[in-house]
Amino acid sequence: MLEIACFSREAALIAKSAGADRIEFCARYDLGGLTPAFDDVSFLHSDLHIPLFVMIRPRGGDFTYTDQELRHMQQDIVHFKSVADGFVFGILTPEKEIDGEKCKALVELAAPKPCTFHRAIDETNNLEKSIESIAACGFKNVLTSGGKSSAIEGAETLKRLVIKGHENNLEVMPGGGVRSSNISQLRERTDATWFHSAAILEGGLPSSDEIKTMLSSFLT
């Protein structure tokens, strides 16, 4: 299964037409993904007909948020709940651990919509312990490169995390530089069943051919 990170309406429609299984929708590719505009999500919700997960991230930078920023995240979840199929977010403590209290509160607020913990996990000190903490918060998915700059570099760790995730009813999804050139190798080395990619080869839009090639690799 393939999730495509999209940063505009046009990008999401390209991904859907190419056969993507799910969209992670964000604003600001240059900042790694922020909360998008409600109008864009509402438009896509009525047109995509595949799951649309919305990024909840009020700013770029680190993943330790003030009480005011947390309130903004709570308000955004409530605001988007009618047009989102799921949410993507992650909160860390100043010590770079999973902030279980704040994360669990957001997961419960989002219910029954499923939530993905994003690559903030890769900044934590113990990834396997973090997997357990994320699962305990009620997340259904976690996006990770195995603590490395790319999923292919973190493949050995990712395999352990996939196993740990299955033990905790959590889907571990490799992401970070996932492309048609390495996705078959990632499947073999990690045993993951979901993968995450922006599928951008040039410019700011996903490549339809790249998405189709990645999907076709699942058939071999």
Beta strands, E only, 75-198: 86-89, 115-117, 141-144, 171-174, 195-197
pLDDT of residue 220: 72
The domain spanning residue 131 has which CATH number?
Answer: 3.20.20.380
- Lowest-confidence range among 57-61, 94-98, 140-144, 199-203? 199-203
Q: Is the peptide bond before 112 cis (omega within 30 degrees of 0)?
A: yes
Q: What is the mean pLDDT of residues 186-206?
A: 94
pLDDT of residue 204: 86
pLDDT of residue 39: 96
Helices 155-167/183-190 angle, 10° precision: 50
With beta carbons less than 8 A apart as the criterion, state whether 171 and 193 touch: yes
Mean pLDDT of the chain, nearest integer: 96
Instruction: Give the phi and the psi of residue 122 in degrees, each rounded to 5.
Output: -70, -10
Q: Within 10 A of 207 (CB to CB), how many other CB atoms are there?
A: 20
pLDDT over threshold 80, residue 26:
yes
With beta carbons less than 8 A apart as the criterion, state whether 139 and 168 touch: no
- Lowest-confidence range among 46-50, 83-87, 146-150, 197-201? 46-50
pLDDT of residue 219: 83
pLDDT > 70 in the chain, percent: 100
The total domain count for the chain is 1
Q: What is the mean pLDDT of residues 64-72?
A: 96
pTM: 0.95
With beta carbons less than 8 A apart as the criterion, state whether 178 and 197 touch: yes
pLDDT of residue 203: 83
pLDDT of residue 144: 98
Q: What is the mean pLDDT of residues 29-51?
A: 94
pLDDT of residue 64: 97
pLDDT of residue 59: 96
Q: What is the mean pLDDT of residues 34-48?
A: 95
pLDDT of residue 202: 86
Q: Which of 36, 46, 31 is nearest to 8 (CA)?
A: 36
Q: Tell me the residue range of the domain where 42 lies.
A: 2-217
